[in-house]
Amino acid sequence: MNLNSHAVFALSVGMIFTHHIQLAVLMGIGAIIPDVDREYVFTKRRIFQKYQLHRALLHNVFFAAAVFTVNPYLGVGVTSHILLDTLTSPTDRGVELFFPLSRVVENMYLNLDGHKIGSKGVLWYLEDPVRLVAETADPGLKEVGKNAWRRVYGPFKNSRLADWEVFYSSLLFLLIYASTTYGLVNWIKSFLYYTFNVYLLFVLGIILFYGAGETWRRRLQTQGKAEPLILGMMVLGVLLVVYQGIQVYSPLKLDTTLLGEIAVSVLAGLLVAYIHVRLRVGDVIL
């Protein structure tokens, strides 16, 4: 999904569940953050292509959980971004929900033709649709070899009907909701106040980072021009976002005893599941 769809959708979700413009704006800002893992100046295209970091590095449950511990409203925004991207096709690379743990297991049981590969150990069930990706994805997203199917894919293409439907539906909802609840003019004034006053550093940082990054990715990456300037602008953008993030730091109150019980349950459950599958099936397939 495009950034504008992510932001407006999260803003709409925020208004529905909080009825508070400031909190909804914070969720909209959170929804923009995950796409920072694009192949910008700090990651050369060939390295990025080899390791497939986009929609993996910051599009996973662990990153979302980490943001939740900083501020739950930012965390909801990040989560909404990840969920929308799970609906996108292999061409757009879907989402690798459990990165980096998903990279621990490398082999798969079947290829896309349904033939057993003969690998042993803990396996993913299917090969990733590398052939489809190679024919349809952007150059930086084309995988360089066969991989296990680690990502979650959907049927929709970026910048096509489903993407724009999310954007326009969310925008129309905001207009209707604002008009009937706050008065459209009052809502817009409050929205602009929180966006460009209270959270100005977030906005400036995001504009600097994405503006410089996209300029590099689309126009300058193959030319090698202005790299120090681009890098400086992106670093400044990150610093502004981090500084404002410290200001909005409002962690969830977590019960450490409960966290310990969850961890023990997950690890014990994994062990029991492994033994169960090994004894019943033989091949351990995720």
Mean pLDDT of 70-98: 94
Residues 176 and 278 in one domain: no
Q: Do 181 and 205 reside in the same domain of the chain?
A: yes
Q: Is the pLDDT of residue 47 over 80?
A: no
Is 238 in the same domain as 278?
no
Average pLDDT of 106-126? 87
Q: What is the pLDDT of residues 20-29, one digit of tens each?
A: 999 999 999 9
Statement to judge: residues 246 and 259 lie in one domain: no
Q: Whats the size of the chain, residue-wise?
A: 286
The phi-psi region of residue 118 (left if phi > 0; otherwise alpha if psi is between -120 and 50; otherwise beta) is: left
Whether pTM exceeds 0.85? yes
206 and 270 both lie in a single domain: no
pLDDT in tens, 140-183: 777 777 889 999 999 999 999 999 999 999 999 999 999 999 99
> Same domain, yes or no, for 162 and 95?
yes
- Given a contact cutoff of 8 angstroms between Cβ atoms, the answer to whether 141 and 54 are in contact is yes
Count of domains forming the chain: 2
Whether residue 217 sits in one domain with residue 284: no
CA angle at residue 50 from 48 to 52, to 5 degrees? 60
Instruction: Give the range of the structural domain holding residue 229, as residue numbers without chain letter.
Output: 3-99+153-252
d(CA 193, CA 45): 38
Average model confidence (pLDDT) for the chain?
88
Residues 91 and 200 in one domain: yes
Q: Is residue 115 part of a domain?
A: no
229 with 267, same domain: the answer is: no
pLDDT given for residue 216 in this prediction: 77
